[in-house]
Chains A and B, each alone.
Chain A
Amino acid sequence: MRCLKIAGRVVRQVVKDRRTLALLFLAPMIVIFLLDVVLTSKVGKPRVMAVGLPADLQTAVGQEAEVTVSSDLSYAMEQLKKQETDAVLMYSKPNVTVSVEGTQGSVTASVKKAVAAAVGRYSKDTASKEAEEQMQSQKEKILRQLQDQLRALQKPGKAESSTSPALSAPETKLSLSMTGVQYSYLFGSDDMTAFDSIAPLMMGFFIFFFVFLIAGVAFLRERISGTLERLLATPVRRFDIVFGYFLGFGVFVFLQTLLIEFYMVGVLHIALKGSFLLLMAVNLLLAAGSLSLGTLLSAFARNELQLFQFIPLVIVPQILFCGLFSLRGAPEWTVILSKIFPLTYAADALQNVALRGFGLESVWQDLLILFGYMLLFLVLNTLVLKKYRKI
């Protein structure tokens, strides 16, 4: 088996090349760690300045944000401009006007959330207070009527004439005011961070990206150094070369995938509802596809720089369209394009397994498609080598 000889050589080469080893195993760890730090850090309570808020409302806001009270609106706005405060809350009956700086989405979102929560709490308190008052007044009313009737009963003779109006229940209108919204989660949970929801995609993406780069560069180096041509001067079959490379790098890609998954699940504790092994299967198939794609595309690059030029063309669109961003409102062609990309199927399967806990029965199609892509790229690469040798 000549492909095994080639695979063995590739393994030996990678082991001796410290930089490639480091890039394979350390680089994804570092990037994922940094991403985790950035995405799981919360904005915290927003800082707001209250200008003339009713006391109750101000108390409610105080529970959701750090409130500074000011009586000077223009001073408050000045502070907002300097980003010393995140928002200015001003009450002008019957509305609360919230001013925000507005360039930082996460800050704006946290202000909005805090204000919504405070207003919700405020109206709930007010409503329940009203309801309580209403209840109290009704109780008193009924009590009074009962006392009247009692008094009437104590006067004999007069009793029959009384048509006991008090016993007909008093018409009370208990207005049902909505006091809050409760969310129920089909999947996921309230405390899921931004990192949690994109973590499976990130895992897939990093595996895809790093494998693509390293496999592409390595095969390209074989081409540039002339060893590929030298190898083709031996009685080795083209497919043996392609498959040998695939197997040799496959060893490291397997380890890398294992490491990334263990790291994300075991160390960073990303949400994993489904099976660890199934997630591994998706990742490995994705990595295999990326490995074969990298070696294939290296055929169309004359040097490393040209290979890197494929990143905006081949890698970036896949990230944009794989499901990281919703394509619901995007034009139709983006959806069609996303269907061509292997990463889309991997992303779908990864999310279904990691976040929704689905099993093989719901992701087998994705797995099959990924396997198909891998085969396709391997065969294409073998055909591309015809450029050097017809047989």
Chain B
Amino acid sequence: MSQKTAVVVEGLCVRFGSREVLPDLSVSIPEGRIVGLIGPSGSGKTTLVKTVIGTNRFQAGTVTVFGRRVPSLEAMNEIGYMAQNDALYEDLSAWENLIFFGSIYGIRRRDLLKRAEELLDFVGLADDRKGTVRNFSGGMKRRLSLAIALVNRPRLLILDEPTVGVDPVLRRKFWDEFESLKENGCTILVTTHVMDEASRCDRILLLREGKLLADGTLAELLEQTETGNVEDAFLKLSGVDAAEKGAV
């Protein structure tokens, strides 16, 4: 079975002023997989993710999403994005936020209302749909952000640290949903700090200082590094001594 690719990044260079965040990155993401992007803060995860979406300018290289050169409004139509910080309208209710973003994607009113109901149900906010987002807890905001990311039934779901501030029960629920989305053919690119989440990814990309240290399945990664878990593998690849382990 030939593997289609969702995202192709070639020779990508992103600079902020004189700082090279991503010096020269090439990577491809296959369709219908959950790909975990792992690395310490400041490694360029968010920059890469934003570049793939098209909201970040880059200096060199090409980024393609479903065959379309980024930035592309058509590509954006097929991407769902959950940002690291909850980009929500605090003055509005959960329902209003969801409907607004849905309408921006140009979803028809009737479909949108149905979709919004389903999504609020799914993230467990059905009872709080009229509640103002300002009064929501951190976890509730994360759930609403996820619902918004799914409103346009994306083919590519980009999640930037989706489980920060989410309790273990909900975290598991999130990952169950990611897997069921994958079953339906959705490609998921997820950044995370949490190493055990990496074990649920089909592929792992290890990023450090803008360079790709490893790209493969969990098994391949462990074999390559002769370690027992993702954390150790990451530390070994980063060249960090065991004594400095706690720093990651």
Binding site for B on A (CB under 8 A): 2, 5-6, 9, 12-13, 16-17, 225-227, 229-237, 387-391
Interface membership of B169, Cβ < 8 A: no
Bound state CA distance, A237 and B105, in angstroms? 11
Which of B78-86, B185-193, B215-223 faces chain A? B78-86
Bound state CA distance, A236 and B55, in angstroms? 12
Question: A235, B92: Cβ atoms under 8 Å?
Answer: no
Interface membership of B144, Cβ < 8 A: no
Interface membership of B210, Cβ < 8 A: no
User: What distance in Å separates the Cβ of A354 from its nearest Cβ neighbour in chain B?
Assistant: 37
Q: Which residue of A9, A231, A235 contacts B74 across the interface (Cβ within 8 Å)?
A: A235
A16 CB contacts on chain B under 8 angstroms: 91-92, 132
User: What distance in Å separates the Cβ of A23 from its nearest Cβ neighbour in chain B?
Assistant: 15
Bound state CA distance, A234 and B81, in angstroms? 9
Bound state CA distance, A117 and B44, in angstroms? 81
User: What distance in Å separates the Cβ of B199 from its nearest Cβ neighbour in chain A?
Assistant: 28
Bound state CA distance, A9 and B76, in angstroms? 21
Please name 18 pairs of A and B residues whose Cβ atoms are closer than 8 Å in the assembled complex, sorted by A: A9-B92, A9-B96, A12-B92, A13-B92, A225-B85, A225-B88, A225-B90, A226-B87, A229-B83, A233-B54, A233-B79, A235-B74, A235-B105, A388-B56, A390-B54, A390-B71, A391-B54, A391-B72
Closest to A2 in B: B104
Question: A13, B89: Cβ atoms under 8 Å?
Answer: yes
Known contacts: A5-B104, A233-B76. The answer to whether A225 contacts B87 by CB under 8 A is yes
Interface membership of B53, Cβ < 8 A: yes
Known contacts: A229-B83, A389-B54, A391-B54. The answer to whether A9 contacts B71 by CB under 8 A is no
Closest to B77 in A: A235
A17 CB contacts on chain B under 8 angstroms: 91
Give the top 7 A-B pairs by smallest Cβ distance, nearest first.
A230-B87, A226-B87, A235-B73, A235-B76, A235-B77, A233-B81, A16-B91
Q: Which residue of B83, B101, B104 contacts A226 across the interface (Cβ within 8 Å)?
A: B83
B27-68 interface (Cβ within 8 A of A): 50, 53-57
Contacts A227-B87, A388-B56 known; 19 new A-B pairs at CB < 8 A: A12-B91, A13-B92, A16-B132, A225-B87, A225-B89, A226-B86, A229-B50, A229-B55, A229-B83, A231-B87, A233-B53, A233-B54, A233-B76, A233-B79, A235-B76, A236-B104, A387-B57, A389-B57, A390-B57
Q: Which residue of B71, B81, B90 contacts A230 across the interface (Cβ within 8 Å)?
A: B81
Bound state CA distance, A230 and B85, in angstroms? 10
A232 CB contacts on chain B under 8 angstroms: 55
Count of chain B residues near A, Cβ 8 A: 32
Closest to A240 in B: B104
Known contacts: A229-B55, A233-B53, A388-B55. The answer to whether A9 contacts B89 by CB under 8 A is yes
User: What distance in Å separates the Cβ of B112 from its nearest Cβ neighbour in chain A?
Assistant: 11
Interface membership of B100, Cβ < 8 A: yes
User: What distance in Å separates the Cβ of B132 from its nearest Cβ neighbour in chain A?
Assistant: 7
Interface membership of B106, Cβ < 8 A: yes
Bound state CA distance, A6 and B74, in angstroms? 19
Closest to A388 in B: B55
B89-133 interface (Cβ within 8 A of A): 89-92, 96, 100-101, 103-106, 132
User: What distance in Å separates the Cβ of A294 from its nearest Cβ neighbour in chain B?
Assistant: 19
User: What distance in Å separates the Cβ of A218 from its nearest Cβ neighbour in chain B?
Assistant: 10
A389 CB contacts on chain B under 8 angstroms: 54-55, 57, 71
B100 CB contacts on chain A under 8 angstroms: 5, 9
B73 CB contacts on chain A under 8 angstroms: 235, 237, 391
Q: Which has the most chain A C-beta neighbours within 10 Å: B74, B81, B101?
A: B101
A2 CB contacts on chain B under 8 angstroms: 103-104, 106
Question: B90, A234: Cβ atoms under 8 Å?
Answer: no
Bound state CA distance, A17 and B106, in angstroms? 27
Known contacts: A12-B96, A233-B53, A234-B101. The answer to whether A227 contacts B89 by CB under 8 A is yes
Closest to B58 in A: A390
Bound state CA distance, A390 and B76, in angstroms? 13
Q: Which has the most chain A C-beta neighbours within 10 Å: B77, B90, B91, B92?
A: B91
User: What distance in Å separates the Cβ of B88 from its nearest Cβ neighbour in chain A?
Assistant: 7
Question: A5, B103: Cβ atoms under 8 Å?
Answer: yes
Question: A233, B55: Cβ atoms under 8 Å?
Answer: yes
Question: B96, A230: Cβ atoms under 8 Å?
Answer: no
Closest to B132 in A: A16
